[in-house]
């Protein structure tokens, strides 16, 4: 019987601004897989920006839509999936993401994110008087949830995008080799 070919289904999770979408794009090229971004799918579906959807419909309506899109995208054809920073908030999402591929948490501290995001106008949750305090609160709430959902955690601070993508590819290779019945190439 021919050996089943292992196709990685990388899923990127982490705080807003951690680099999930950029890593996903490069990873897609490296692995020759399509790249899908849950936020882009949601925006295409609602026809407005996520920020204005938050304003008109509220966060709960966005989370419902996000859950629906995650449920649709975690099955089907192999792909690289980039998620929004709050994708791990719901238990059902965490379970689906974990079961649907190899989940990589790009970890970065709020103080480091703040340097990247202090001029951000796109992310509704950061349009507040004190974005650093908001990032710290989000991190305090979410770090454990990202870890619960992830198969591995990578430090995303102070590494170039190319290096981060290399680290992801190496981890995926290691996971493949440690699967039961896997053979060294
Ligand atoms: C969110 C992060 C955003 C987007 C929405 C909510 C969050 O995605 O899904 O604004 O709750 O952190 P990014 O992580 O790509 O910024």
22, with CB counted inside 10 A (0-12, 13-18, 19+), is middle
Q: How far is CA 71 from CA 17, 90, 136, in A?
A: 23, 12, 29
The Cα–Cα gap between 171 and 152 comes to 8
Q: With contact defined as beta carbons under 8 Å apart, do 84 and 66 qualify?
A: yes
Total number of residues shown for the chain: 185
Residue of 89, 39, 85, 40 lying closest to 60 (CA atoms): 89
Residue 37: count of CB within 10 angstroms of its CB: 19
What pTM did the predictor assign? Answer: 0.94
How close is the Cα of 123 to the center of ligand 1, in Å?
6
Q: Which atom of ligand 1 is nearest to the CA of 21?
A: 15
7: confidence class by pLDDT, cuts 50, 70, 90: confident
Minimal-distance CA residue to ligand 1 atom 12: 85
Which pLDDT tens digit goes with each residue over 151-181? 999 999 999 999 999 999 999 998 887 776 6
Which pLDDT tens digit goes with each residue over 125-134? 999 999 999 9
Quote the mean pLDDT of the chain: 93
How close is the Cα of 184 to the center of ligand 1, in Å?
39
Pocket of ligand 1 (CB under 6 A): 16, 39, 50, 84-86, 123-125
Which pLDDT tens digit goes with each residue over 139-148? 999 999 999 9
Label residue 14 left, alpha or beta by phi (over 0 means left) and psi (-120 to 50 means alpha): left
């Amino acid at each position: 019987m021919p050996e089943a070919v292992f196709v990685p289904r990388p899923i990127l999770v982490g705080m807003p601004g951690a680099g999930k979408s950029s890593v996903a794009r490069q990873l897609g090229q490296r692995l020759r897989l399509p790249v899908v971004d849950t936020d882009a799918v949601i925006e295409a579906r609602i026809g407005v920006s996520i920020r204005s959807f938050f304003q008109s419909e509220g966060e709960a309506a966005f989370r419902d839509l996000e859950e629906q899109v995650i449920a649709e995208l975690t099955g089907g054809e192999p792909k690289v999936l980039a998620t929004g920073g709050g994708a791990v908030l719901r238990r059902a999402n965490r379970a689906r993401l974990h079961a649907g591929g190899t989940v990589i948490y790009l970890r970065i501290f709020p103080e480091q994110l703040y340097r990247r995001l202090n001029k951000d106008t796109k992310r509704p949750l950061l349009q507040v008087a004190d974005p650093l305090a908001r990032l710290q609160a989000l991190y305090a709430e979410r770090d454990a949830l990202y870890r619960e959902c992830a198969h591995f955690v990578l430090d995303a601070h102070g590494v170039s995008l190319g290096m981060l993508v290399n680290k992801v590819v190496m981890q995926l290779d290691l996971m493949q080799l440690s699967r039961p019945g896997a053979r060294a190439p």
